[in-house]
Structure 1
Amino acid sequence: MHATSNGERIVLEEAAQLDFSGKMSYGDYLQLDKVLSAQNPQSEEHDEMLFIVMHQVSELWMKLLLAELREAISDVRNENLSPAFKKLARVSRIMEQLVHAWDVLSTMTPSEYTAFRPHLMQSSGFQSWQYRCIEFSLGNKNAAMLQPHAHKENLLDWVTQAYEAPSLYDESLRLMAKQGLHIPETHLNRDWRGAYSRNEEVEQAWLVVYKDPTKYWALYQLGEKLVDVEDAFRLWRFRHVTTVERVIGFKRGTGGTGGISYLRKMLDVVLFPEIWSVRTHL
């Protein structure tokens, strides 16, 4: 008669946990059948899978980023700053992950990308509606950027909502006014669809905060969280530019943009100008 060893006994005792018939498993919970079957290369080129996965992973991170950013904006609007800080910190960390996604794509050489690029047709990251919502929610408003999403009504609705709503910075300035700091009326009740314009009076309000952080500790923290977010966003955009230049040089983008020339212009956009300029006057 065969004796059962301790190792075999442990395996037998745990065997009940190995059968997931009729139970929700890891793959069921994450819907991995859908996720892992969503990669459909249009060519026979080996490197196209890298291109697809990198962009799909980035879109998943952007989905989380948007969820956190929307909630953070709501928290700032309702003066719930502690949870807003946590969410904004997470937004910055997610952007770090998006930077690293470009690190992986940069392993693709120009020759490898050129081999399957014609199969992309007119598809381009320029058409990412989630990225557009992120930009709009951070204040980089431009009506022309609604057009790439006009072909799908449900997506256009999402982008339009972000375009028409107060941005994170707009809500931050409104909060400063609620807490007794002078913010000009032009920046409290403006057309939220317009691009933000730097204002000397807003800079003076931030200067009051930064000169007395003890008195205005919550607003001081908010200012630094905003700097963290924009710092991370700049790195994300910069890594995008350098990777694209490395892979395609100065060719036009597949979506019809100028490629590198367009992306470099985006590097000059400053989302929260007074929080940066106030540092010169401290």
Structure 2
Amino acid sequence: MSCPHQPENIVKEEGAQLDFSNDMSYGDYLKLDQILGAQQPLSPEHNEMLFIVQHQTSELWMKLMLHEMQAAVACVANDQLPAAFKMLARVSRIMEQLVHAWDVLATMTPPEYTAIRPYLSNSSGFQSAQYRRIEFMLGNKNAAMLKPHAHRPALLAEVEAAWRAPSLYDEVLRLLARRGIKVPADALERDWTQPRSLDEGVKAAWLTVYREPEKNWDLYQMGEELVDLEDAFRLWRFRHVTTVERVIGFKRGTGGTSGVGYLRKMLDVVLFPELWALRTEL
């Protein structure tokens, strides 16, 4: 007599569907044949699979980040702040996921990476169009970063659109002005392709919010959501630097950058400077 609690009997008792010959299955819905068939190492090295999966999954997470950030910007522009808060919180959590992903890549040792590096040619994460769009949406605008995508007109158009559009922070400053907070006019209408620097007038606007949080609660919450977002982004970039240094030291990057040197410079970029500066004065 078979045990009534064997797995096959449990499945039968739960009425689970086992035949998907005429229906959509899990693999069909997620297009797993295409996704799992996209890992095609170019070298004979065992460790290249790790390198490919690391970067492909990062690109998938970045796709979700862009999906959430674009919706959040639209919500801010339309004064739908509760929805924007949820989306921005999700983006911060995605960045945390990406921080931990570097822990996996860090298991690759220098000799293991050296063995696959010749097969990478000039390909580099520096050329990620999705990452560049995320940086542009966060306000780190740089016209030179359009050039790596010039050979792909469709991708270039997407990156350039993000470069030309108001950033998330630009839209938040417009929100403050709509709520009656005094924001300098040149912070509300400017050349959106230019990066921002610390503006004392913008800092004063945020100080108005932070000195009376109960009166300006949703704007205060928006400020903290942005700080949380930048905090997570800094950790992501820092973990990137330390992983690259651990794996390749100070060699030049495959995309032609100075490698760790370039990445360390990126750590100095502050996306929302007034939100960090005001803390000294509170």
**If the TM-score is normalised by the length of the shorter chain, which range does it land in?**
over 0.9
The CA deviation string for residues 46-70 of structure 1, in whole angstroms up to 9 with x for no partner, is 0000000000000000000110011
- The equivalent residue for 2:171 is 171
Which amino acid is the alignment partner of residue 49 of structure 1?
M
- The equivalent residue for 1:47 is 47
- Aligned equivalents of 1:42 and 1:189: distance in 2? 49
Which amino acid is the alignment partner of residue 140 of structure 2?
N
Establish whether residue 209 from structure 1 lines up as the match of residue 209 from structure 2.
Answer: yes
Establish whether residue 60 from structure 1 lines up as the match of residue 56 from structure 2.
Answer: no
Which amino acid is the alignment partner of residue 96 of structure 2?
E
- Aligned equivalents of 2:12 and 2:67: distance in 1? 44
- The equivalent residue for 2:276 is 276
- Aligned equivalents of 2:11 and 2:96: distance in 1? 41
Alignment of 1:87-126 (within 5 A): 87-126=87-126
The 1:9/1:248 distance shift into structure 2, 3 A limit, reads closer
| Structure 2 unmatched ranges of 5 or more | none
The 1:24/1:115 distance shift into structure 2, 3 A limit, reads same
- The equivalent residue for 1:245 is 245
Establish whether residue 26 from structure 1 lines up as the match of residue 26 from structure 2.
Answer: yes
- Aligned equivalents of 1:75 and 1:11: distance in 2? 44
Which amino acid is the alignment partner of residue 56 of structure 2?
Q
Could you tell me how far 1:5 is from its partner in structure 2? Answer: 7.6
The 1:212/1:21 distance shift into structure 2, 3 A limit, reads same
- The equivalent residue for 2:37 is 37
Alignment of 1:74-93 (within 5 A): 74-93=74-93
- The equivalent residue for 2:192 is 192
- Aligned equivalents of 2:11 and 2:132: distance in 1? 52
The 1:114/1:18 distance shift into structure 2, 3 A limit, reads same
- Aligned equivalents of 2:14 and 2:94: distance in 1? 37
The number of equivalent residue pairs is: 280
- The equivalent residue for 2:72 is 72
Could you tell me how far 1:17 is from its partner in structure 2? Answer: 1.3
- Aligned equivalents of 1:99 and 1:213: distance in 2? 31
Establish whether residue 235 from structure 1 lines up as the match of residue 266 from structure 2.
Answer: no
- Aligned equivalents of 1:113 and 1:238: distance in 2? 20
Alignment of 1:122-141 (within 5 A): 122-141=122-141
Which amino acid is the alignment partner of residue 174 of structure 1?
R
- Aligned equivalents of 1:41 and 1:81: distance in 2? 44
Which amino acid is the alignment partner of residue 54 of structure 1?
Q
Could you tell me how far 1:12 is from its partner in structure 2? Answer: 5.1
User: Partner of 1:17: helix, strand, or coil?
Assistant: coil
- Aligned equivalents of 1:174 and 1:11: distance in 2? 56
The CA deviation string for residues 88-120 of structure 1, in whole angstroms up to 9 with x for no partner, is 000000000110111100000000000010100
- The equivalent residue for 1:263 is 263
- The equivalent residue for 2:160 is 160
Which amino acid is the alignment partner of residue 220 of structure 1?
Y
User: Partner of 2:252: helix, strand, or coil?
Assistant: coil
| Structure 1 unmatched ranges of 5 or more | none
Aligned-residue Cα RMSD (Å) equals 1.5
Q: After the TM superposition, which parts of structure 1 deviate over 2 Å for at least 4 consecutive aligned residues?
A: 3-16
